[in-house]
Amino acid sequence: MQRVKHFFHTLDEFLASYAKIFGVSIVNPILRHFLFISVYSVIYFIAIYAPEIFGFVVLWIGYIGVLAVGRAWAQNESFRARIAKKLDDANPDNLPDLRITAALAALQMFLLVPMLLQSSHSLFDLFDAPEGSTWKTWGLFGLDLLFRSFLDWSEVYGVHISGVKLDASGGRHLVMFILLSIDYMIVQTVIRIVGINQTIQEGVAVAGKDPEMAFRLGYRATRKLSELASDKSNDDESRIQMIEALGMIGDVKGAPTLVEILSEDKL
């Protein structure tokens, strides 16, 4: 059991380090997304114009990159949660916010999956594909796999939009890996979104008594704090504490709210 834990821990650390190729360690979102898009642009260029075997390799580099970015996001959010719970002392705004980056990575699956399926079949003849199949054929096959990931409702209703069928065992293994990857990404995304919202709600909820808890959420708490601080139905003491929390966070997006609230005579 200990070996299994060690294996998955090592794999997790490898993926998080691998994700740095795609810019996950860059705090500035503009630079991070520029690097991310640039790397995937190079991957797609090589996959289209280079010899098939090189294209096959770089497509796997890109595919593993999607999974790696997801793991880097998970580690990032876990560390933010530890900061919010006072288990670690760090400024969350000094960390990259990988939510959009993870979404961009997930979107790459719409290109990577069909290209990987087509490349694999071209090299290893893994599927029973119709004669004269085009990229559209493989794109529809990729959508078929996506539909299977959503509780397999495509099987229930008999929805199949491509003419590609499973044939060789290698093709079945590849499809199974892709399906597991998609399911993993969906589950991980739902868990992370729920966790992020819960952490923000809990931190902001106690901001009226302990402004530091909201400060530990960083810029993410600005919108919710601004709403609560502007709500005149809240008692003045709580609103003052939330104003203090906004000031501690120092997000310029909260400045208009602060100016408006502080113009009130009773505050």
Q: Are residues 91 and 216 in the same domain?
A: no
**pLDDT value of position 61:** 98
Q: Which of 205, 240, 259 is the last residue of a domain?
A: 205
115 pLDDT more than 90: yes
What mean pLDDT comes out for the span 149-178?
77
**pLDDT value of position 151:** 57
**pLDDT value of position 156:** 53
Q: Are residues 102 and 230 in the same domain?
A: no
What mean pLDDT comes out for the span 96-118?
96
Q: Are residues 49 and 59 in the same domain?
A: yes
Q: Are residues 50 and 127 in the same domain?
A: yes
Q: Are residues 44 and 153 in the same domain?
A: yes
Q: What is the pLDDT of residues 178-225, one digit of tens each?
A: 999 998 898 899 999 999 999 988 888 887 778 888 889 999 999 988
Average pLDDT, the chain: 90
Q: Are residues 111 and 157 in the same domain?
A: yes
Q: Are residues 155 and 215 in the same domain?
A: no
Question: Residue 154's pLDDT band (boundaries 50, 70, 90)?
Answer: low
Residue 219's contacts (CB-CB under 8 Å, 6 or more residues apart) are 92, 93, 97, 249, 251, 253
For the chain, percent of residues with pLDDT exceeding 90: 56
Q: Are residues 217 and 201 in the same domain?
A: no
Q: Are residues 212 and 98 in the same domain?
A: no
**pLDDT value of position 95:** 97
**pLDDT value of position 260:** 84
148 pLDDT more than 70: yes
**pLDDT value of position 123:** 97
Q: Are residues 200 and 217 in the same domain?
A: no
Q: Are residues 91 and 197 in the same domain?
A: yes
Instruction: Tell me how long the chain is.
Output: 267
**pLDDT value of position 257:** 82
* Number of structural domains found in the chain: 2
Q: Which of 155, 185, 205 is the last residue of a domain?
A: 205
For the chain, percent of residues with pLDDT exceeding 70: 94
Residue 36 in contact with residue 93, Cβ under 8 Å?
no
Q: Which of 205, 224, 252 is the last residue of a domain?
A: 205
The span from the CA of 173 to the CA of 36, in Å, is 29
**pLDDT value of position 254:** 86
Q: Are residues 120 and 82 in the same domain?
A: yes
Q: Which domain holds residue 236?
A: 207-267
